[in-house]
A and B are shown apart, each in its own frame.
Chain A
Amino acid sequence: MERVLTLLSFGPEGWGDNIAEGVLVTVSLALATLPLGLLVGFFIALGKRSNDRFLRLAANIYTTLFRGLPELLTLFLVFYGAQIGLQRLVHLFDPSANIEVNAFVAGMIALGVVFSSYASEVFLAAFRAIPQGQYEGSFAVGLSGLQTMRLIILPQLVRLALPGLSNLWLILLKDTALVSVIGLADILRQSGIAARVTKEAFLFFGIACLIYLVLAMLSSIVLHAIENWTRRSGASR
């Protein structure tokens, strides 16, 4: 027991500080991916709702592609693919240049792309739940298309999409574990190093699992609070 506590302490012979750094990396990666994924997902959903069939097709290709590929493969495609692509591009100007893609950015793009393709479906379902009369009413009082979206549709959309998006956030949090494979020092990689050095694999991977659980619980609390906040205006109905 004492040995376990020493191993988990924040001192020089403990791994607590390393794992805490890993938690920071995991959380910041997930938080950095979220706005990217939400924004892209929203625009993909708009594309899928479009009257124009070319735009719909383009948006649907995106979802089909990134919902069908394994997340790990998407990560490798982005990580190695961007490296090779950029390398070729730069070699046109400077043949001696060497490019390395930042693992954090690659992880952010790959996870963001996956997140947005799922988020677009959530937004689409939320859009469908808003009655046509809301648009008609808004045009009738003389709001422009952009104003309708900002003042009438978006506030309702947030409320309708939130449960689905909460789910996606929890999935995103778990998917960040994949970036440990391309060398980003997240929770799983740090505990893996600790496990290899100390030969206490079960302890450290168990701790990693527990940290993910705690993160999920904290997220649930925050998401619940946000959900209640969005319901304020609808409560009286």
Chain B
Amino acid sequence: MRTEQTLAAERPPVVRDRWTLQRTIGVVLLSIWAALALAVLVFMLDAWDPAIFQRYLPRYLSGLWVTVKLVVVSVILGALLSIPIAYGRTSRNGFVAALAYAYVYFFRGTPLLAQTFLVYYGLGSFRPELQAVGLWTFFREAWYCAVFAFTLNTAAYQAEILRGAIESVRRGQWEAAAALGLSKMQTIRKIIVPQAMIVALRPYGNEIILMIKGSAIVAIITVYDLMGETRRAYSQTFDFQTYIWAAMIYLAIVEVLRNLIDWIERRITRHLKR
């Protein structure tokens, strides 16, 4: 009986959740978000038209498919192209290293939109020459120009990611593998790449997200990706909800990807956690 009373007396005072200035600001800001969400919802319901939805749904889906195709193709081709560039960046040959550096500097230092224009409109200046080598049919199509420009662009970024990741693996790993008698290919495949992948995963994921967001600009050179279909739908209906639909789709893709990358990172770093 007595002990119980002392215990009750020694219990720390209950911490009250106090109403602070920060909470006031937080509640106000959240209310603004909620009001905005409500306004968008009301706007969407007000503008809701099943005929428009049925007409444009297939177009949005085809646009989404074009976006996905563009990103997947250029990221994969860019990954392949990034290997020699990363190799060149680390080369001991000064000329090769300078060339690779210039490539990376150019594609990372100029806007993707300007690069796309340079390929799509600019290469038109060389039409006779391109026709002579039979490449004109390739560069005449906006789609191929977009893939070409995006591949060159992402290759520059991916080369830097790859180089940073490989260099993050310590020299001792190479030496130990050599001491064990592994060949260079085996060392790269079994020792270096698995460790480099842990470092490279997040930057690679960010690069894919940046490509998805960046791919919206191909709409300007008449490729009907998700953004292109959206712009077409807007120009036909003058209905602002076309843009809101596109925003929701892009947000959903990016959020799903971001969570997927987080999940993969948690899985492949399990051995590092205690």
Contacts and interface: CB of A to CB of B under 8 A. Distances in A.
B105 interface: yes
Contacts of A55: 22-23, 25-26, 29
The prevalent SS among residues of A at the interface is: helix
A54 interface: yes
B114 A209 contact: yes
A70 B29 contact: no
Contacts of B234: 80
A68 B254 contact: yes
A89 interface: no
Nearest to A65: B251
A58 B254 CA distance: 19
A226 to B, nearest CB: 19
Contact of A192 (B117, B217, B231, B247): B117
Contacts of A205: 114, 117-118, 121-122
B219 interface: yes
Contact of B216 (A73, A80, A201): A73
Nearest to A81: B240
A50 B114 CA distance: 41
Contact of B26 (A56, A64, A68, A177): A56
B122 A202 contact: yes
Given A64-B255, A213-B106, A76 B117 contact: no
Contacts of A178: 111, 113, 217
Interface stretch (B123-131, B190-198, B266-274): B123-131
A213 B227 contact: no
Given A72-B227, A201-B125, A51 B22 contact: yes
A81 B122 CA distance: 33
A69 B253 CA distance: 10
Contacts of A216: 109-110
B229 to A, nearest CB: 12
Given A57-B26, A68-B255, A213-B110, A77 B125 contact: no
Contacts of B230: 73
Interface residues of A, number: 50
A202 B118 contact: yes
A84 B240 contact: yes
B193 to A, nearest CB: 27
Contacts of A70: 212-216, 227, 250
Interface string A179-221: 0110000001000100100011111011011001100110000
B118 A212 contact: no
Contact of A76 (B27, B113, B243): B243
Given A68-B254, A80-B240, A178-B217, A202 B26 contact: no
Interface of B: 20, 22-23, 25-27, 29-30, 32-33, 105-106, 109-115, 117-118, 121-126, 212-217, 219-220, 227, 230-231, 234, 240, 243-244, 246-247, 250-251, 254-255, 258
11 contacts: A54-B30, A71-B213, A71-B216, A72-B217, A72-B219, A72-B227, A73-B243, A177-B114, A192-B121, A202-B121, A202-B125
Complex A-B, nearest 8 residue pairs according to Cβ-Cβ distance, in ascending order: A55-B26, A54-B26, A202-B122, A177-B111, A58-B29, A70-B216, A202-B125, A201-B121
